[in-house]
Every structure is written in structure tokens, then in C-alpha cells.
Structure 1
Amino acid sequence: MTTPTIGRLRVKGATLHYEVRGRGPLLLLIPGGTGGAASFDGIVDDLATEYTVATYDPRGMSRSTLDDPEAEQRVADHADDAFRMLELLSPAEPARVLGVSSGAIVALHLVTAHPECVERVVAHEPPMVEVLPDAPEHRVLIARVQETFRTQGLMPAMAVFAAGLKKDDNTSEPKAETGTEAEAEAEVKLPPQAAARAEQTMANLPYFVGRIVPSFMSYVPDLHRLEALSDRLVLACGQDSRGELPYRPAALLAERFGIELQRFPGGHTGLTTHPAEFAACLRKALHTFARP
């Protein structure tokens, strides 16, 4: 991999670790789950041939530290962190942004809060369950995950969470990829760098399950604001995750806003399992935006 320029950005309540590669217009990559900046290792060099690519560890993850380790986590604060990155790295020009999973929720809040700073947002499978017609069922899931975490521990809670993300067992559609990036990586024997990344991902899991999941999956977006900005939105899903919970919000919003749902390779963890193909689809999405 290309050696990045590494920096530290002081924000309200946290200090963020970030990395920058390449030259050109700014492309900010907002990670989801527990992977941090390292989750983009498979695509940053490819993208850095055309863009100044910035990645970072979200507050509380990996190398980005919280002033108060017990602080409540809010989507708005994470989106403000992304805004501070844009202010620092592209103060004069609007940037392109990719957010994946919980990072896609951050990206969508970012564009509604600071549309002047964002030229285009690619949101890959944001698990915004509050937009779904069966949202009450998913509130029960979130509560069950938290109760399991409190009473039985991390891995039983993760099992409940992963099961809740899968499609209805009665569907006739093929089984797709589910679970965390760490689970996807654990399915194969990893080289040392990837093994270290998976270890860090697992270390972030308690924070993710205890703080990020309940807050982010309870987030209610401003749908009218998003619709007004839909000319700069790319809503994307994994081609193998149709019917799974993280797939459904983006599909629903694309239909509501009258924009074409973009299908990326793999499932929810396609960034990890199909990096070259994922990067190619991202490049295309950043260059073109087709309405049906």
C-alpha cells in the first residue's frame, strides 16, 4: 500500500486519527461497523490515482480517542466530525463522500447538515431502520441485542444482532453475506496485516454493540431534506444482500426519491470481500448519476 500522510484532528469530545493519500479532488471515506480507516485498505490505492483520498477512525474506534470514554454517541456528532475533516482537507471545494453501513448514516446526515460542502454522497446500505414500515420490530431487535449484551456478553449479543440482519427465512431469494467485517475476514486465513486489522476490529466490537448500534439504528433522518438533495445522492446496496435488513432502507429511499438504486458487488461486506469490483463501482457512481 501507498504510505499515507497521517494526521490528528481535534474535534469536540475526541481526537481523530486520519490518513490521506493521492492527489485530486477530495474523496472522504467514512467507515462503518468496527473497521475504522483500515477497512478501506483494499481500495484506497486504486482511488488515490484520481482523488485525494481521506480515511479516518470514527471517534471511539481504534486510534481515535474519546475525552470521555463513557460519552453517549450521536449520529450528529459523528457527522460533525466528518464535516471538520472536509473543512480541514477541502476548505474551498465541495467533496465527494462514501459512507458504508453506519458510516452511510453519518454521510447522509452530513449532506443534510452541510450540503454546501458535499458534491456527491454514495451511501452503501445505511441501516436506518426507522424509515421502514416494520420499524417497531427492529426496535425490539435493538433492545434484545442490548439486553443480551448486558446479561450474556459480547458474542451472544453479536449472534442476536447478526441473526436480525438476515433476510426472512421464508424468502425464496438466495442466501447473502451477513455479519461484521471481522466475521467476513475470519472465514479465510489472513496475511499478517489483515490479521492485525481483524484483531483491531474485534477489539472495537464492545463499543460498537454498546454505543453505536442502539444510537445509529434509532436515528430518524430528515427525509424531506434528503429528498430535496437527492440529485447528489447515490443509494447503493450489495447485489447479494437483497432482502436483508441493511439493504432495505436504501432500496426504499431510492424508490421514494425516484433515483436508481446502485448495486455493488458482494453483500453488506462487499468492500472487504470484493475490493477491486467495489472500487470500480464506486468510481462509476462518482462519475455518473442516472435516474431511471
Structure 2
Amino acid sequence: MHSAETKTLQVPGARLHYEISGSGPLLLMIPGAPTDAGALAGLTALLSDRYTVVSYDQRGLSRSTLDGPPEDQDVAAFGQDAHHLLTALGGEPAYVLGTSGGALTGLDLAARHPEQVRALIAHEPPIPELLPDATHWRTRFQEVHDTYRSQGAGAAMQKFIATIEGDHGAPPAMPDPAQMPPEALEMMGRIQGNLDYFFAHVLLPVLRFTPDLAALRSGPAPIAVGVGAASPEGVPLLAARALAEHLDIKAIEFPGDHQGLAIDAITSAEIIHDTFAGLAAPGQPSSHPTRPA
């Protein structure tokens, strides 16, 4: 296992916290809000013997601080941060893995700066604007935002989980803090501290993102879309299927649900590696063939 080196990068309006470890081709991993790089620590440990793995906290979250007061942040701002980070790392085209909201950042990066993306895996990108009932989802997420304003982050999180899962998923099981390692406890504390910023300034702008499908279809960067085998019929799963259809590809199945990359990092790491190998060398067989989800 390679120990991670922690660094910071000044970008317009923020200072990004990022972690780099391993050796080999560059792999940028982007978590979704309100989580941070810690959510991908398991994957980092498993992939750093094959890649130079870089993960980071998106602006305004956890250790990536804003230069000024909190303000609304959209996917374009997050995508530019990824662009600046890759530029600072030397400009080498990178493999990119984005999960949840981080997948939206990856899609924006691939559309605007395709020369920086060797290949992209977008795992369960929540894009309600791609769904036929987009107006319904706009209303539902506005209700989450309004719940935050009137009742606070705790009530908003409960409503957000029910909404993002389309009312079909069971509430996530909360881990026993007594059984969690110190690093996980620290991350949970950071996530808790991110909730006000997430609900006030990130939720609505990010969930109104529409990817540049024409640029993604015509661009040089190959793209894979991942779905969780156990994900409920909510926005992340439905949007991932819709995106795969728009890109005329078959979704790749990962273990578990929306959190599957963290919960089953061992299996996920092998699927990620095999997928990137297949994307970099089209036509080569993979031990995890794509299949409709």
C-alpha cells in the first residue's frame, strides 16, 4: 500500500485539498457532495499499485476551502476545478472516475476538456434533467431545499434520501460509531459539517445540470456508465440508464447500491481497472463484460 501525500492547490475562488499516492498512469477520482476524498479511500488503497491515484475534496466541502463567503456552486465550477487540478499535475490525460455528483464533474470535464481525459467512468450520475419527468424532480428537490430552510439539515437529509431514491429504497443502515476506525469517524464528522453548505448552495444548482451529450458523443474520450446492482429505482439509477442510452452504450454493473464503490471496494476496484483497460483498448475482452442494467 502506498502512503498518500496531501497537497493543496489554489484555484479561482477556492483552495483545493487533494491526495496523491501510487505510481503508474494518472487516475483522478471525484467524490460527490456532501462526501469528500475519504469516501474513496478504500479504492485508493486498492488501485494505487497500478495507478497514480489523485482524489480531492470538491470546493467548499471538508478541507477544500472557499476564498470568500459560501455561494451557489454549479457543475461548471466543479469541472473547472478538475481541469485546473489536472493541469497542475502536469497536463497528462487522466483516467477519471466520478461517482454520484462527482460523475457530473467528470462528464463536464470530458465535454469541455476532452484532451485531459483518457477515459471516464461515470458511476450513478444523478441527472434528473435527463428523465422524462424532469419537472417533477425539480419540484421534489426544491422541496428538499425548502425543508432545509425551514427545518434544518437533519430533516432535509431524510427528505433528500427518500427523494433521490424515488421513495423505493430502504433507509440506509447507519454504522455503529463504536465499530468505525478513526479515519471513518473523522470523515463522518466532515460530512456532517458539509450539510449546511450542500443543501444551501450545491443541491439545486448541481441537480439542474444537463451534460453536453453532443460533445460527449463526438469527443475523443471513451465513456462508461456504472450502475449499482442493488440500487433502487431512483434518480441515480434511472439517470445512469438514460445517459447510457443517450451515449449508445451499455451500463456496467457494480456491486451494491449507490454507495457500492465504498462498501465493496475490492470488487469495484477490479471492475474499474478492467473497464479502463477495455476503454483504452477497444475491442479487447474484459473479465467484467458490460451488460444492460
Q: TM-score when scaled to structure 2?
A: 0.90
Q: Does the aligned pair in 2 maintain the 1:235–1:254 contact within 8 Å?
A: yes
| Greater mean deviation of Cα atoms: 186-195 or 8-17 | 186-195
| Aligned pairs (5 A) from 1:127-276 | 127-167=126-166, 169=168, 185=175, 189-229=179-219, 232-276=222-266
Residue-by-residue CA offset, 1:244-287 (whole Å, 9 max, x unaligned): 21111111121222211001111001122111111111111111
Q: What are the equivalent positions in structure 2 for 1:25-44 lying under 5 Å apart?
A: 25-44=25-44
Residue 212 of structure 1: how far off its partner (Å): 1.4
Q: Which amino acid letter does the alignment assign opposite residue 284 of structure 1?
A: D
Residues 60, 69 of structure 1: 8 Å contact kept: no
Local SS of the residue matching 2:60: coil
- More deviation, 203-212/138-147: 203-212
**Contact 1:27–1:54 under 8 Å retained in 2:** yes
Q: Which moved more, 1:227-236 or 1:205-214?
A: 227-236
Equivalent position SS for 2:227: strand
1:114-149 CA-to-partner distances (Å, cap 9, x unmatched) read 001111010001101101101011000111011111
RMSD between superposed Cα atoms in Å: 2.0
Go from structure 1 to structure 2 and tell me whether the alpha carbon gap of 1:154 and 1:168 turns closer, same or farther (over 3 Å shift).
closer
- The answer for the alignment partner of 1:109 in structure 2 is 108
How many positions carry a matched residue from both structures?
282
Alignment of 1:10-21 (within 5 A): 10-21=10-21
* 8 Å Cα contact 1:44-1:53 kept in structure 2: yes
Q: CA, structure 1 residues 97+188, in 2 after alignment: closer, same or farther (shift >3 Å)?
A: farther
How many angstroms apart in 2 are the aligned matches of 1:44 and 1:84?
A: 21
Give the SS at the match of 2:208: coil
**What runs of 5+ residues in structure 2 fail to find an aligned partner?**
284-289
- Residues 184, 272 of structure 1: 8 Å contact kept: no
- The residue aligned with 1:125 is 124
| Maintained 8 Å contact 2:30/2:98 | yes
Q: Does 1:81 align with 2:81?
A: yes
Counterpart position of 2:267: 277
Q: Is the 8 A contact 1:230 1:257 kept in 2?
A: no
Q: Which amino acid aligns with 1:48?
A: S
Q: Matched residues in 1 for 2:178 and 2:224: separation?
A: 31
| Percent sequence identity over aligned pairs | 37
Distance 1:185 1:100 in 2: 21
Unaligned stretches of 5+ residues in structure 1 = 170-174
Is the 8 Å Cα contact of residues 128 and 219 (structure 1) preserved in structure 2?
yes
Name the CA distance, whole Å, in 1 between partners of 2:213 and 2:62: 32
User: What amino acid does structure 2 have at the position aligned with 1:266?
Assistant: G
Q: Is the Cα contact below 8 Å between 1:184 and 1:273 reproduced in 2?
A: no
- Residue 130 of structure 1: SS of its match in structure 2? helix
Distance 2:37 2:175 in 1: 16
